[in-house]
Structure 1
């Protein structure tokens, strides 16, 4: 069993990490704290193996907490700021996650932890199949959990996106560029300035458009070469294709 501690002054961030950890066998959250001072006290008397730690917090920052510990568990930093990366790794942290944290990126951090423990038994307990991967999206006032396998395509709408799934569509507060960065490129590809598609929902294509299980999407000029190159390289597993070129 891996004993975890979550430390973040933002309640939604703690909730998301707790949710990710609850999906894993062999991991338990001993405490979820909103400040580093309480975390310091907790670590003096409790056996913690892995800490998910925010950086910018009142009274004591995450980096200051790390420096104050004589005996350190494995630490994964979680922050909205990229600029602390060099300092963080100088402190020998296990990983550095930039918010919002996707499940895929979270799982990569967990894999690093497992490798550091040299534990194949622990590794076998971690869900790594694509069918189990998901992300949370802000839809209205809620954070909605959507499995990646259910996404057919994502449409960009300025500062919003429209996620088209097998069941229905959702408008979420996010930008398409962020989604292009966070989605696994083995499963998704951007085919137009306004569209990202799921490879496994692609039925056919030509030089002007791609045909999905839920409709037709234009194939943008700026994205056509990368799209065709990836198919021709055989780097994705797709149905038989027929081009009109």
Structure 2
């Protein structure tokens, strides 16, 4: 369980962060405070793992609070002001969110924390038959089971991927590079910095693109060599 602290002098901003955190499993809000002085006191006696901290606060600024702490939780700054970013990152904050904070941007920041904490690998069930093999993906608050045979391609967005299947697309909290290592290489290949495709969904290709079921994707320059070597090796057959 990740213990969180929210510090913001605006009630709507506190409520929004609480709402964002409520969509995640394994995160609990210990307190939502409106000033940094109370936050300093709270941090002396409570085990906080992750703090969401505004900069412009009464009595004591968020940056001054960070400087005053000998032992700090991981800190994500939340502010309406962009000009403090350089100073904030000099204080080794985890991320810097500019209000209004969207759910997607919030999730990207939380993903950084999760990666630092070495969250468990995506569970993979390797069956004797590929048709029965599946993975669990973190989709919103849930761990969602997706059979690999149903995946057409994956699309990367920074700390997120969109898993496109024959039925629907899922937004999952993971990096595309990690999935490239995790997926069986005889079944999937990366064709672009933003795309991994399933071999058996490949219909045709040329020097610049690959054509899947109802989808055309670019074939990136850095990935052409591996793609064509695999095609020419006969390791994969197009039917």
Deviation of 1:118 (Å) = 1.4
Tell me what 1:65 maps to: 65
Distance 1:240 1:59, change over 3 A: closer
Residue 161 of structure 1 corresponds to none
**Where do residues 1-245 of structure 1 align in structure 2 (5 Å cutoff)?**
1-120=1-120, 126-127=138-139, 239=214
In the aligned structure 2, how far is the partner of 1:235 from the partner of 1:16?
A: 41
- Change in Cα spacing, 1:43 to 1:122, as seen in structure 2 (3 Å) is farther
1:235, 1:103 → 2: CA distance?
A: 32
When normalised by structure 2's length, the TM-score is 0.53
**1: CA distance, partners of 2:60 / 2:113:** 25
- The whole-number CA distance in structure 2 between the counterparts of 1:61 and 1:122 is 39
> Which of the pair has more CA radius of gyration?
2
Q: Unaligned regions of 5+ residues in structure 1, if any?
A: 130-183, 187-199, 201-232
Shift of residue 115 of structure 1? 1.0
Q: Secondary structure at the match of 2:57?
A: coil
Aligned CA-pair RMSD: 3.4
Alignment partners' CA distance in 2, 1:67 and 1:31: 21
Aligned length: 145
Change (3 A) 1:71 1:113: same
Moved over 4 A (4+): 121-126, 233-241
Identify if the C-alpha distance between structure 1 residues 74 and 239 changes in structure 2 by more than 3 Å, giving closer, same or farther. Answer: same
TM-score (norm 1): 0.52
Question: How many angstroms does 1:119 deviate by?
Answer: 1.6
Question: Is the alpha carbon distance of 1:83 and 1:236 closer, same or farther for their aligned partners in structure 2, counting shifts above 3 Å?
Answer: farther
Question: Structure 1 residue 240: deviation in Å?
Answer: 7.0
Aligned mates of 2:74, 2:6 — CA distance in 1: 12
CA contact (8 A) 1:3 1:49 kept: yes
Once the 2 structures are TM-superposed, how far is the Cα of residue 127 of structure 1 from its aligned partner? 2.7
What do the CA deviations read for 1:13-32 (whole angstroms, capped 9, x no partner)? 10000001011100000000
Tell me which residue corresponds to 1:213. none
